[in-house]
Chains A and B, each alone.
Chain A
Amino acid sequence: MTRAPLPEGIRFLDPEEAAARAEAVATLRDLYRQWGYLRVEVPALERLEPDHPRASKAFKLVDVGGSVLALRSDFTPALARLVRTAYPAVAAGEERPLRFSYDGLVWHAIDPELARGREFTQVGIELVGVSSARADAELIHLARESVRALGLTPRVEVGNPAYVTALFDAAGVPDGARGGLADAIDRKDQSAVIALVEGHGLRGPAADAIVEVPDLYGGPEVVDEALSRVPTAAARRALERLAGVLDEFEDQGDLMLDLGMARRLSYYTGVTFRAYTFDFGQPLLGGGRYDGSLLPRAAGFALGLGRVLAAVEAAREPFDGGAVDVSTAGRHADPLVASLDDAAARRLRAAGVRVVRSVADEPAAARAEAVTMGADFLLLPAHAGERPGERLVALREGHDHVVEQRLRSLLAAEGA
C-alpha cells in the first residue's frame, strides 16, 4: 500500500495560499490592535487535562517522563490559563478589562471527513475581566468587522443559551433529559422537541415556551415575543441581556437573533454568536460568553481562517475567466526584479522592491531564469562607463513605464 505523504486532514499551503493567509492574518491583527487588543502567544503543546472542554478531540502525545501532553485544540482555555497565571487577581474575580488577540494552529483528532481538516488556523480575541451587554456588543461588532475586513458581507446570529437553561429550570426538565432536549432545540427539530416534552410529561407555560423556542429567530421582535410570556426571572434576565446587546448597535441590519441557540461548547454560559456570509454554507467564526466556567468574567470568539479564505475564494468565482486578469493585477505596484548585480539589488531592496538574486553565471542564462520565475525586470551589472540602472531590462511586453522610471531613478539615486 502506498503511504500518503501527510496524515489525513493535514495539508501543505502553496505560496499563493500562504500569502493569502498571511495577508488575512495581518489584516485581522491590525484590526484588533486598533481596538486595543494585545497580541499574545500561547504554547501549542499543553498538558492534557481531562476536564478540558475538547479533551476527547485532542491529539495526545507522551512526554519523556511518561505524562500525557496534548496539542492545542482550542485557544480559549489556553488564554484562560494565561490569565490565571499572569493576572491572578482578574482570574479571582477582579473587574478589570483585559483584551487579548491570538492567531495560530489548532489540531483536532477527529475522523477526517470531507472538507474538514484536522489542523487549522484560528484567529481570535478574548475580552476578559468584564461582563456586560456593552462588552458582548464589542465582540459581536468586532466579529462583524473581522468578516468585513476580509472582504465579505457578514450576517451574525446571536443567541443566549442561558434562556433555554432558564426554561428548563422553570419546566423542571430532569438532568438526564437536558442534553437531548437542548440538542433537539438547537437543531430546530420541532417534532423531536414535542415528543421529548410530552414524553417527560412537561406542562405549563415553560413547557409551551420550550416547544416554541426553536422558531424564535429573526429581528428584535423575537425578544419581545418571548418576553410577553416569560416564565421566570432568570429567563427574563437572559432575554434582557440579549435586548441590551442589540441596543448597543445603531445598525442592526447584519444581526439576527436566534433564541433557539441551545447547544454550544460546554464552556459557554451567556450570549453566543456565529457569523456567516452569503452563499457559503458554513459558519466563519463563533464565540460567546463563558463567565464562571473558565474565568469569572470572559468572552471571545475565534475565526476559522481556512473557512473564511474559502468563502473569499467562492465569492470571487463569478469573475474567473472574465476580462479581469487577476494574475497581473497589483503587479504594477509590486514588480519582481531578477538581478545579477548584488550592489544595485541592495539599493532596490532598501527601497522596498522585491529583488531575487540570479544564480545564473552569465546574462543570457540569467534572462532565461528570470523569465521562468515570472520576473518583470532583469538587472544586469553595469559595464564601465555606463550609468547605474542603464542595464535594467524589461521582460514583459506592455510593462508599466512609470514603474520602470521609478526603478531607474532608485538605481541612479545619489549616494549609490
Chain B
Amino acid sequence: MSFWDDVFDFSDYGALIALLHNSLIAGALLGLIGGLIGVFVMMRDLSFAVHGISELSFAGASLALLVGVDVVAGSVVGSLAAALIFGLLGVRARERSSIIGVLMPFGLGLGVLFLSLYRGRAANRFGLLTGQIVSVDDPGLVWLSAVSVVVLVALAVMWRPLMFATVDPEIAAARGVPVRALSPIFMVILGLTVAMSVKTIGALLVLALLVTPAAAAMRVTVSMLWVPVLSVVFATVSMVGGILLALGGRLPISPYITTISFAIYLACRVAGRVRARRGWSARPAPPRRDEGRRSVTEGADGTDFVPA
C-alpha cells in the first residue's frame, strides 16, 4: 500500500458521504463562525490568544474524557476559563502575551496528564489534538448549531461598535462605545468558537480556521464588507473541502484542512502583491509607502489611552 493510497482513496465515496452528512454541516457552520470571528482575531491581534485558548480547551476536553463526561462540555469550560482570564487580565497586548505564554504550556501539560491517565480508545486521545473525522453525532450537531446561533447573534449585534473599538478606540470611546466592556465579551464569543473548533480540527490546528482565512482575505481586499465575506468563504472551503478529501484517505482530517487553508493564503498573498503593485483603487501605490506607515504607527507606545 503506497503513501498516496493513504492520502487519497475514493472507492465507495458515495456511501461514505451519506455517513458524513452531519460532519459536512458542522464543517460549514464552523467555517461561517470561524471566518467571521477570524476578522476580529486578526484586527485585534489575538492569534496567540487563540492558540492559548485552544490549549486550555484541550485540557478541559481531556479532563472530560478522563472522568467520562461530555467532551464538548469540557472543552467549552476550558475555553471560556482561558478566554475570560486573557480578556480580563491582559488588557494590554504585552501583558496579555505573557499571561498566555504562562498559561498555555500549563494547559497543554494538564491535557497530556489527563490523556495519559485515560484508559479508553487511543483514537479519542489523538483526536483532541489533531482532529478526527468521527461522524458528528446528532447531539454534537445540536451543540454546535446552538453555539453558532449565539455567536452569530452576538456578532451581528456588536459588529459596528466592536469594529469601531478595534480600529479607533479613542474616538470610539469618545462617541460612547463601551470599549473596555466589549473586550471580555468578545473573548467569550471567541472562546465558544474555539471550543467548537477543537473537536473537529484539533487543538493544535485551530489557527488554520480562525486566523488563516481572515489573514488571506486581508491580503486581497480592504473592504469592510468583503474581508468578512471572503474570510467566511475561505474558511468554509477549507473545512468542507478538508472533510471531503479526508473522507477518501486514512489520515486525520486536519492536514487536509490546514493544507487547503494555507494554499488559499499563498494564492491571496500573490494576488495581493499584484494588486499592491497596480495600486489600490483610484490611488496609485505610492513609492512613499514607508513614510505613510511610519506616521500611522507613530506614538503607538502610548500609555495614556489604553485600547481595551
Co-complex (A, B):
no
Give A residues with C-beta under 8 Å from B.
Answer: none
